[in-house]
């Protein structure tokens, strides 16, 4: 996890558990090399204008900090703590498809299955009591660029 904070907040971010505390020099380095070695990025609002320089690197990988996903805010300690505990963001597209990352290849099959079962349980519990009929019609598991594998969410 990388925390993009000013020098005055660096110690706070480190104490909260950030693996890397990044500043303007690190942003410049990423802009030149286009290489990142973190899987989550958080930032304070004051750093967001500076991150615009590397938005084209972070954005396509889904790493650009965003207030909607609670990765930007003044309370950097809470943001880092929540992310370290495994907070994830659900995304919906225009056709009501739900997109969620449940793991990485390095997790291994057991951990990915455990995460998939946890996500399915959360989705089942999220069905409003006023909702009638089938809440989830179809479900599929896929890699970033691979074919989809359909599965039954009720199983």
Task: Output the pLDDT for position 30.
Answer: 92
**Distance from C-alpha of 40 to C-alpha of 26, rounded to nearest angstrom:** 15
Domain over 2-84 is classified CATH 3.40.50.720: no
pLDDT in tens, 83-104: 888 777 777 788 888 888 888 7
Report the C-alpha dihedral over residues 141, 143, 148, 151, rounded to 10 degrees.
Answer: -20
Confidence bin at 59 (pLDDT 50/70/90): confident
Q: Where are the domains of the chain?
A: 2-84, 91-151
To the question of pTM greater than 0.75 for the whole model, the response is: no
Share of the chain above pLDDT 90, in %: 34
Residues 6+ positions from 124 with CB-CB distance below 8 Å: 135, 153
Best CA proximity match to 70, nearest among 81, 54, 61, 60: 81
Residue 46 pLDDT: 92
Sign, Cα dihedral of 25, 33, 101, 67: positive
Mean of the per-residue pLDDT values of the chain: 87
Query: Where residue 3 falls among pLDDT bands split at 50, 70, 90?
Result: very high
> For residues 77 and 16, is the Cβ–Cβ distance under 8 A?
yes
Can you tell me the distance from the alpha carbon of 148 to that of 140, in angstroms, rounded to the nearest whole number?
A: 6
Instruction: Give the three-class secondary structure for 21.
Output: strand
Residue of 49 and 97 predicted with greater confidence: 49
Which pLDDT belongs to residue 118?
86
Residue pLDDT, tens place only, 101-153: 888 778 889 998 898 888 888 888 888 888 888 888 888 888 878 899 898 87
């Amino acid at each position: 996890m990388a925390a993009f904070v000013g020098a005055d907040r660096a110690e706070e971010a480190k104490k909260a558990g950030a693996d890397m505390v990044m500043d303007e020099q690190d942003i410049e380095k990423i802009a030149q090399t286009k290489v990142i070695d973190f899987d989550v990025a958080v930032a304070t609002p004051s750093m967001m204008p500076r991150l615009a320089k590397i938005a084209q690197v972070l954005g396509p990988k889904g790493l650009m900090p965003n207030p909607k996903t609670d990765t930007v805010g003044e309370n950097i300690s809470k943001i880092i703590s929540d992310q370290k505990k495994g907070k994830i963001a659900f995304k919906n597209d225009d056709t009501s498809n739900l997109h969620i990352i449940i793991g990485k290849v390095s997790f291994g099959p057991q951990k990915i299955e455990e995460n998939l079962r946890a996500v399915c349980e959360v989705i089942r519990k999220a069905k409003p009591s006023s909702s009638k009929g089938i809440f989830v019609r179809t479900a599929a598991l896929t890699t970033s660029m691979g074919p989809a594998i359909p599965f039954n969410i009720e199983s």
